[in-house]
Amino acid sequence: MDIDSKLTDIKGIGPKRAEALGHLGLFSMRDLVYFSPRDYYDLREAVPISDLKHGEYALIRIDELDRIKVAYPSVNGRRTPLVSINVSDGSGRIRLTWFNQPYIRNSIPSSPGGYAYGRVDLTKGRVMVNASFCSEPPGILPVYRLTRGLGQASLRSCVKAALSSFAEEQPETLPESILAEHGLSRLGFAVENIHFPISPEALKLAKRRLSFENTLYFTILLESFRARALHSSGIAFNTGGTMKEFLSLLPFTPTNGQLEIMREIDSDMSAPVPMNRLIQGDVGSGKTALAFYAMFVAAKNGYQSALMAPTGILAEQHYNKLKKLFGDRAVLLTGSLKKAEKTAVLERIKNGGATFIVGTHSLIEGVVGYKDLGLVIADEQHRFGVRQRADLGGKAKSPDVLIMSATPIPRTLSLILYGDLDVSKLTEMPAGRKKVETRFVPSAKRADMYRYIEREILEKHIQAFVVCPLIEDSEDVGTEYSAEAVFAELKKKLGVRIELIHGRMKPDLREEIMRGFRDGETDLIVSTTVIEVGVDVPNACIMVIEAADRFGLAQLHQLRGRVGRSDKESYCFLLSESRAESVADRIKTLVASSNGFEIAEKDLAVRGPGELLGQRQHGSSPLLEAIASGDTATLTEAREAAIKLLSSREPAERDLILDVLKRYAPLLKDVAIN
């Protein structure tokens, strides 16, 4: 069986399972074996019931068990089965519960002996939620991202089936010289142990091998693109006097950091090679003004600029600002335009009547034709892949490229992730912005917090966000953390205008809801992380993050940045039932610091690069998924090895480079930094 065989060719995976796996972006055996777990449960040894901690996923021994009980509590007006059984291991007793799973009675053992494992909840007595039974300790279990209709047990069995075929088919991919020089495990061992590690040490070796290999490949690809860019000719813009003229148009005084980056843009755009620059800065640090400056330079030289935003509503926001600065030479191109309007805009772009062009990714696709496109700007790097930058030749001959990202990345990762870009960091916030006060809210104060928010909205006419980690209930997290459940709860309890928004909604509906929020038609939005890249709402002054332990530091900081965009007092409230020390440290860091780069460095030191790179999303690169599993030292070592490899004349090493370019270059169009 070929490594790229479709999933239904694997024994044990039928059409229904294959369809569910497809919702996770998994379509072939290769996709499945390289689909890294998001976490692991160490269930090698049982924990005494008396020592269990709230929120942990643990294995317990069953020495005694009572009779099965079935209750039918009313949930949203419906009687729903709740199966439970009390068990003991001699050190204490615990109740195992299963909500809305009446069939579980057939799986509960009828006599003592064996083990149970599941998540521990100590908020209402001693309870283990959704426990599974086994006769022996299961070892270290992988925990995967899930989708509707696919549980952890089912996904584990699919991976095992794929691994049994993979072991027979997949040859070693790295030269023996590299394996020996860097002390790397073989590929078969790494893939097996990234899913089902025989020990923590084996897992560490597997992560190192896969992280090293993928960082090596990623660096080879980016360095190749960089070398190609350095040897291509670009537009040498005349930048003399443009900064002074542009500053006279602005209704505010730029920060020193903005002025410094404007000078860097001047230097790049005046050079005869294409600009390829990334600007990193916190939400609200003033990146958009820098993009407008680059567009102004292009316009003064008779060239058009295309500014791409990740959503139509954000594009509309940029367009309104550009129109204020530059008048009718600015145009907006989005999918919501009527046919006649779109035709007129396309004609103006084609004949040069439009100079400042704003829209979504359609600007570099399809029927859009430019007269003289000299500059392309992408707002949010994780929405604009490396390959898309390379493919711009179809619209213009070597235009300058400027990319903006609100995700601060430490220097070590910047070298790896943005190897083909020059990086500018914007660390200074504009004058007049107030610091967002960040508070931890214990569970006992949750109801009081929401009543306070209701009063603030009604009395001060401000707006608020509530962010949840999930859209709906899952087997790992209770309904109280899902956006749908929180929306239903607040809709019932609060006397304000509330809307729900999440990633499963159609983009047009999401944009309509966000537009209503921006225009003041909605007081409070309950959302998943889709609002990370969103509309600028200066009147939004409160951010609530439910189950904050489910987010990384960098992501929490991004979410917090959606408020505090005016001179009004703004607050970020973090809620969590977790008692883990790491969660407390994360919250303390956010309370103490508002500097995104400091927070990113802390995240890198405490949690490794995986948190900053994020979990693999549908359509994102499997290269980044494996890179995220490594430590900083491994990433640095692999990058240095790639640079050395590119100058090698050894046949086996040259063959590796050619194979990497052939196999992985198409993947770069999907690279996503979260």
Check residue 431 and give its pLDDT: 74
Helix, strand, coil percentages in the chain from 3-state DSSP, rounded to 5: 45, 20, 35
Strand order in the sheet with 540-545: 437-441, 571-575, 540-545, 463-467, 524-527, 498-501
| Alpha helices (H) in 170-303, listed in sequence order | 176-182, 187-195, 200-230, 242-249, 256-270, 287-300
Better-scored residue on pLDDT, 162 or 558: 162
pLDDT of 405 > 50? The answer is yes
**Residue pLDDT, tens place only, 348-364:** 999 999 999 999 877 87
Check residue 455 and give its pLDDT: 97
Helices (H) and strands (E) in the chain, counts: 23, 24
Selection from 303, 271, 5 nearest residue 162 by Cα: 5
Selection from 336, 334, 420 nearest residue 381 by Cα: 420
Give the model's confidence band at 476: pLDDT under 50 very low, under 70 low, under 90 confident, else very high: very low
Better-scored residue on pLDDT, 552 or 541: 541
**Residue pLDDT, tens place only, 597-610:** 777 777 666 655 54
Percent of the chain at pLDDT exceeding 90:
46
Domains in the chain with CATH codes: 38-171 (2.40.50.140), 180-230+632-670 (no CATH), 242-271+286-405 (3.40.50.300), 437-593 (3.40.50.300)
End-to-end C-alpha distance for the chain, whole angstroms: 34
Check residue 387 and give its pLDDT: 54
Name the token pair of 534.
């969103």
Write out 396-448 in H/E/C secondary structure: CCCCEEEEEECCCCCHHHHHHHCCCCEEEEECCCCCCCCCCEEEEECHHHHHH
Check residue 209 and give its pLDDT: 92
Write out 137-203 in H/E/C secondary structure: CCEEEEECCCECCECHHHHHHHHHHHHHHHHHHCCCCCCHHHHHHHCCCCHHHHHHHHHCCCCHHHH
Q: How far is C-alpha 271 from the geometric centre of its chain's CA atoms? A: 35
Give the model's confidence band at 296: pLDDT under 50 very low, under 70 low, under 90 confident, else very high: very high
Which range among 24-38, 374-388, 411-425 shows the weakest confidence by mean pLDDT? 374-388
Summary mean pLDDT of the chain: 85
**Residue pLDDT, tens place only, 93-121:** 999 999 989 999 999 999 999 999 999 99
Check residue 428 and give its pLDDT: 82
The reported pTM is: 0.69
Check residue 196 and give its pLDDT: 95
**Residue pLDDT, tens place only, 223-261:** 877 777 666 788 999 999 999 999 999 988 999 999 999
Beta bridge partners of 82: 71, 99
- Which range among 209-213, 561-565, 614-618 has the greatest average pLDDT? 209-213
Burial pattern 401-432, b for ≥16 Cβ within 10 A else e, equals bbbbbbbbbbebbbbbbbbbbebbbbebbeee
142 Cβ neighbours under 8 A, 6+ residues apart:
37, 39, 40, 156, 159, 195, 196
Strand pairing category for 127-134 and 64-65: unpaired
Check residue 667 and give its pLDDT: 59
Rounded to the nearest 10 degrees, the angle between the axes of helix 287-300 and helix 242-249 is 130
For residues 280-306, average pLDDT: 92
Query: Rg of the Cα trace of the chain?
Result: 27
Which range among 72-76, 185-189, 207-211 shows the weakest confidence by mean pLDDT? 72-76
pLDDT of 189 > 80? The answer is yes
Alpha-carbon distance 89 to 113, whole Å? 10
Name the token pair of 305.
């600029």
Alpha-carbon distance 278 to 428, whole Å? 16
pLDDT of 615 > 50? The answer is no
**Residue pLDDT, tens place only, 617-648:** 333 455 555 565 667 788 889 888 988 998 88
Selection from 1, 31, 21 nearest residue 622 by Cα: 31
Which range among 195-199, 272-276, 411-415, 513-517 shows the weakest confidence by mean pLDDT? 411-415
pLDDT of 453 > 70? The answer is yes
